[in-house]
């Protein structure tokens, strides 16, 4: 499948033994989040995500997964602690800086957020058009992407006439088409069957191999077990649970690792 052009993949210089060392793309220090005057829904979050890594975010409903992803794609600001993204300090960053950082992130929202009056094709084309791609490039890439997610015959349909699973696939195609540096996906396979879920996972791993750091919130154990090289972040009650509690490859300091 064709994914749009992107700048250099995120690898730091080689380490002593010749392996690649992953630089941190996301750094959380003592981060907390509360909505309004309520109790903190996220607290004491301290972790690093390595550039080019593949991460699953798991945990029970209400644990704070979507809230954590919102911090990552800048829809919420932390109410406590420090967050750095792409090496840039976001705490106290001016509003002008945020759209620039935001353009480096692809997002699959839990509720899709497609543009209702645009066709599936035009929704998927949006990031490429915003990035200034030629219509010829847009046409080829979008057609190919829609074919990959099994929606070639629905390309002129508007979101309100698509099923939930079809909308979800359009949302995924839109999030990945411009090869973002960071992909954040919130339950991206919640509305599709197991076979399509595996196909979509394939899209994420292909993007990851091209250098994108991938963070997927999911309850789908099938996805997780099909991605043995991924690391797992588990949230319970707003906080990351003890990495020694049987978790597979919990994130810590960026370190040498393979790709998913
Ligand atoms: N906008 C909001 N205002 C107030 N409280 C909120 C808001 N959004 C989420 N919360 C609360 O924050 C907590 C974490 O919610 P969040 O949506 O992050 O959980 P989640 O892990 O994504 O759950 P799910 O698996 O059901 O999607 C919940 O207690 C929720 O009620
Ligand atoms: Mg959620």
Stretch 209-213: mean pLDDT, rounded? 95
Candidate from 35, 38, 62, 78 with most ligand 1 atoms within 8 A of CB, to mutate? 62
Residue 109 falls in which region: left (phi positive, over 0), alpha (psi -120 to 50) or beta: beta
Residue located nearest, by CA, to atom 26 of ligand 1: 61
Q: Which fold has domain 53-75+104-240?
A: Rossmann fold (3.40.50)
In this structure, what token pair is assigned to residue 148?
Answer: 């990959």
Do residues 15 and 23 lie in contact, with contact meaning Cβ atoms separated by under 8 Å?
no
The rounded mean pLDDT for the chain is 88
- For the chain, the structural domain boundaries read 53-75+104-240
DSSP state of 241: P
**How far does the centroid of ligand 2 lie from the alpha carbon of residue 217, in Å?**
8
In this structure, what token pair is assigned to residue 90?
Answer: 């976001």
**How far does the centroid of ligand 2 lie from the alpha carbon of residue 252, in Å?**
23
Stretch 190-195: mean pLDDT, rounded? 92
Residue located nearest, by CA, to atom 25 of ligand 1: 61
Which tens digit of pLDDT belongs to each residue from 140-165?
A: 999 999 999 999 999 999 999 999 99
In the chain the first and final C-alpha atoms are separated, in Å, by 18
pTM for this structure?
A: 0.88
- So what's the pLDDT on residue 5? 53
- Of 93-102, 107-116, 183-192, least confident by mean pLDDT is 93-102
pLDDT at 224 over 60: yes
């Amino acid at each position: 499948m064709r994914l749009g052009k992107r700048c250099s993949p995120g690898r730091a210089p080689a380490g002593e033994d010749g392996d690649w060392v992953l630089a941190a793309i996301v750094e959380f220090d003592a981060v907390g989040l509360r909505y309004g005057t309520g109790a903190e829904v996220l607290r004491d979050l301290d972790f690093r995500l390595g550039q080019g890594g593949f991460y699953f975010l798991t945990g029970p409903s209400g644990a704070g997964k979507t809230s954590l992803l919102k911090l990552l794609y800048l829809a919420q600001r932390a109410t406590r602690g420090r967050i750095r993204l792409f090496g840039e300090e976001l705490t106290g960053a001016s509003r002008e800086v945020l759209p620039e950082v935001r353009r480096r992130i692809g997002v699959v929202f839990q509720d899709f957020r497609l543009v209702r009056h645009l066709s599936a094709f035009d929704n998927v084309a949006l990031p490429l058009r915003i990035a200034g791609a030629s219509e010829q490039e847009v046409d080829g890439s979008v057609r190919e992407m829609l074919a990959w997610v099994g929606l070639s015959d629905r390309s002129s349909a508007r979101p309100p006439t698509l099923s939930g699973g079809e909308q979800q696939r359009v949302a995924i195609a839109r999030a990945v088409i411009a090869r973002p540096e960071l992909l954040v996906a919130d339950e991206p396979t919640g509305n599709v069957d197991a076979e399509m879920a595996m196909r979509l996972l394939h899209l994420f791993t292909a993007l990851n191999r091209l250098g994108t750091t991938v963070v997927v919130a999911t309850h789908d154990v099938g996805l997780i077990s099909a991605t043995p090289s991924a690391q797992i972040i588990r949230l319970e009650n707003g906080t990351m649970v003890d990495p020694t509690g049987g978790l597979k490859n919990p994130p810590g300091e960026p370190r040498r690792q393979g790709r998913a």
